[in-house]
Amino acid sequence: MAKPCFKIVAVLSYTMLLTIVASGISLCKDALVEPTHMGDVIGRIYDAATSLPVEGATISIMQDAVFETGGPSVGSTDASGMYRCRTLIGRQSSSFNVGRALNSSLIGLLAGSAKDVKKRIDVNSLTVTITKNGYKAYQGTLPCRDLDADRFAVIMEPVLLAPDTSEQVSTVSPGRDAIEITDVIITPSIIRPNSDTAVIVMVKCPGEAESGGIKVKARSVPLGDEFLELKEFSNGIATFSKKMHASSKVSVGATKMSIELTDCPEDFAGDIRQASAMVQVVKTPEEEKAATLREEALALIKDGKNPEAIEALKKLCALLQATAADWSALGTAYQDVQDYAAAAKIWQNVILLSPKGGTAAAREGYINALYLSRDYDQMLREVPYAMSNNLLDSLKQDQNKDNKTSPELLAKLGMAYLKKGMVEQAGIVAQYLKNSNIVTESGTKFFTELWFAHLELMVAKDTANADNWAEYGRALMNSGRWEEAVDKLQKAIKLDPNARAVQADLEYACLHLKKPDTGKNHNLDQALASAEKSTMFGEEKSKDFHTWHTYGTLLYAKYHQLKIAGDESTGEVLDKCITAVSEALKCGREGKEQYSESRNFGIYGYYGSNIMGIEGYAYPEAKEDFIILSSLKCLKKNPGHAFAHFNLAAALANLSMYDMAADALNECLQINPKIADVKYLQAIIAGKQGDMDKSIILLKEVVKDNPM
């Protein structure tokens, strides 16, 4: 009886397979690299003078090299300053998944369970024009704040429109949030048991209607937890307040009051949902004196007046009422002014004052200050297991303790070993960090420096080995240390003049120097030939991003060279460059895929498609390659397109190719010098080219135009 049933299911599955394939679902990997599908573009516009939302502003997104006057790529702002429009931002595609099809029911297949749906966001910025009567227009490149593949949408950075009467210019305001806590006031902040204090919280908000959806909660040990009440809304600021009571049994001391936006309109929520302030409980005049100094020091630190804060903290720490936290604050203040030796002494004092040898934070503060003061010998002496004969076992034992060494400090321990030439011990720390899957900024730097230390040992051991010098040079290239990379690659070429792949790397590195025309052992045509050869493995194309990126970059350098010389073959080289950069982008997607798989209901199989979101690129250079590709295609059709020249200049500058970036920016200036951020990009490029006087003059003009 089971066989007929099986045949029916098999026939149905086969029929469904044919239906799905016939419907156009691809069975192959999607190879297109450019945006083909429209998605939502969401952002906000504010008044540069008042910070209030601007209603009725029109935003038009450049599409096919022009600003449309109507259609989905044009939108307007509502009362909260928010706009929503649509443009090409990426690509959505489907492919048939045989494994999922065989593990799906008929209902599941009908619901699309056999599909792998890919949602890919390509853009990291958009070229826009924003206008509103009574305001200066904004026209320029607007960066994306967030990429959301799941919603197939991009959230843009806010724009400040300057009034016509203002001396400012309209500009982008990165990091600005629609709703955020702007101030917390506790009056009085120094209280006694069985007394009241008023807590006032100011929240920036786009409009009065939105302020009603915000809930603000204050939490502290002496005063408990309370929701604050909305008292008023004026000039874009919602004021919440509440009188809170300290009981007669409250303990003396300084504590943190945490302020949190527990609820607010989702579309308006920014990153700044939390804030804090200090509340202090005292009983005696001596405690009140210490509390006053503590409050004064905190205010000075918030104002960035660290030298004055240090003096206030020194007075505080001279009192009997000073706590370990006060001494810690003094140590941190010394560290902030880069007086690391003084900071180390303060942290050492904290440890002596604290029970059981101080907290883990105090010990780490002390060791970190020793590292920053470059007292590596003392640092290694202070880490109990640093000089252990079996360092790996000691590290494992340390990490099983409650007060274990943090990953940040472990990385700095490894760096200290390197500074002392103890490469073997540094390698053990790296091995432990790697096996623990712990990744930090300090850890990344440590791994890089450890690799350089190993390369130094390799070239020192065999100075006549060209491969070692080439590998060292490539490692330096990956870290953006171009001058050092050129030096090492030139040594490799000297030892092996026929190393054509090294010749391509050398030329690529030379393009990133402040003065690219070094005239030493590099030839662009020879490098191009080598780079082109590296893109193929027999009949197969290379799948390595950096291989195609290097080839594309060298081709652009050749195109730039021919263009300056007025050579007629620029078109052919430009086409090759566009093709190479496209291939790089195909490879640059790898490693950025995020899966959201539908549930498998056992015998019933999958229900719903397998969603795969791709946001951005696996390599930072790929982001610039996408902009270069778009710009070059635009310029091929319209050589006088100012925004394409500007975007190309910005991408080249981000790739440290400043001379070519300067040329692209000059072409932009000749066509349209009023594009937003042109002056800022000019300043950056001038500074990187070594013309600091010009850079400073331009930056002063930028600050004058955009004081906010």
Model pLDDT, residue 358:
58
Q: Which two tokens stand for residue 116?
A: 């792998």
Model pLDDT, residue 356:
60
Model pLDDT, residue 612:
63
**Considering only 108-112, 446-450, 535-539, 624-628, which range has the smallest mean pLDDT?**
108-112
Query: At how many degrees (to 10) do helices 692-705 and 678-688 cross?
Result: 160
**Considering only 94-103, 341-350, 583-592, 640-649, which range has the smallest mean pLDDT?**
94-103
Domains belonging to the chain, first-starting first, are 2-172 (2.60.40.1120), 178-270+273-288 (2.60.40.10), 638-705 (1.25.40)
- Confirm if 628 and 581 have CB atoms less than 8 A apart: yes
Strand order in the sheet with 274-281: 190-191, 274-281, 253-263, 215-220, 224-227
Specify the amino acid at residue 181.
I
Model pLDDT, residue 115:
60
Model pLDDT, residue 355:
65
Q: What is the dihedral of CA 202, 205, 209, 215, to 10 degrees?
A: -50
Model pLDDT, residue 25:
44
Specify the amino acid at residue 70.
G
Encode pLDDT of 242-290 as tens digits. Answer: 999 999 888 999 999 999 988 776 544 455 578 899 999 999 999 999 9
Secondary element (H or E) of residue 461: helix 441-461
**Considering only 325-339, 393-407, 684-698, which range has the smallest mean pLDDT?**
393-407
What is the mean predicted confidence (pLDDT) over 627-634? 92
Model pLDDT, residue 520:
42
Model pLDDT, residue 409:
83
CA–CA gap between residue 284 and residue 294 (Å, rounded): 15
Task: Decide if pLDDT at 611 tops 90.
Answer: no
Confidence bin at 521 (pLDDT 50/70/90): very low
Model pLDDT, residue 7:
45
Confidence bin at 403 (pLDDT 50/70/90): low
Provide the CB-side half-sphere exposure for 52 (13 A, CA). Answer: 14
Encode pLDDT of 353-383 as tens digits. Answer: 776 655 677 788 888 899 989 999 988 888 8
Task: Decide if pLDDT at 86 tops 70.
Answer: yes
Of 512, 615, 706, 638, give the one whose Cα is nearest residue 150.
Answer: 615
Largest CA distance in the chain: 93
Task: Decide if pLDDT at 49 tops 90.
Answer: no
The vertex-419 CA angle with 417 and 424, nearest 5°, equals 35
* Burial tier of 171 (Cβ tally within 10 Å: 0-12, 13-18, 19+): buried
Contacts of 120 (CB under 8 A, 6+ apart): 90, 91, 92, 93, 149, 589, 613, 614
Model pLDDT, residue 604:
45
Mean of all residue pLDDT scores within the chain: 82
Encode pLDDT of 184-236 as tens digits. Answer: 999 999 999 999 999 999 988 877 666 677 889 999 988 999 999 999 988 88
What is the mean predicted confidence (pLDDT) over 574-581? 93
CA–CA gap between residue 400 and residue 385 (Å, rounded): 14
Model pLDDT, residue 362:
79
Q: What is the dihedral of CA 692, 693, 697, 699, to 10 degrees?
A: 10
Model pLDDT, residue 576:
93
* Burial tier of 623 (Cβ tally within 10 Å: 0-12, 13-18, 19+): buried
Helix, strand, coil % (nearest 5) of the chain? 45, 25, 30
Concatenated DSSP letters for 155-171? Answer: EEPPEEEPBTTSSS--E
Confidence bin at 30 (pLDDT 50/70/90): low
11 or 229, higher pLDDT? 229
Query: At how many degrees (to 10) do helices 500-510 and 545-565 cross?
Result: 60
- Confirm if 126 and 147 have CB atoms less than 8 A apart: no
Model pLDDT, residue 11:
46
Model pLDDT, residue 116:
65
Its pTM stands at 0.71
What count of other Cβ atoms lies within 10 Å of the Cβ of residue 497?
12
The fraction of the chain above a pLDDT of 70, given in percent, is 83
Model pLDDT, residue 17:
46
Task: Decide if pLDDT at 441 tops 90.
Answer: no
Task: Decide if pLDDT at 448 tops 60.
Answer: yes
Cis peptide before 188 (omega within 30 of 0): yes
What is the mean predicted confidence (pLDDT) over 388-417? 78
Provide the CB-side half-sphere exposure for 529 (13 A, CA). Answer: 7
Model pLDDT, residue 462:
92
Encode pLDDT of 70-79 as tens digits. Answer: 899 999 999 8
Residue with structure tokens 């350098």?
Answer: 557
Encode pLDDT of 675-698 as tens digits. Answer: 878 888 999 999 988 889 999 998
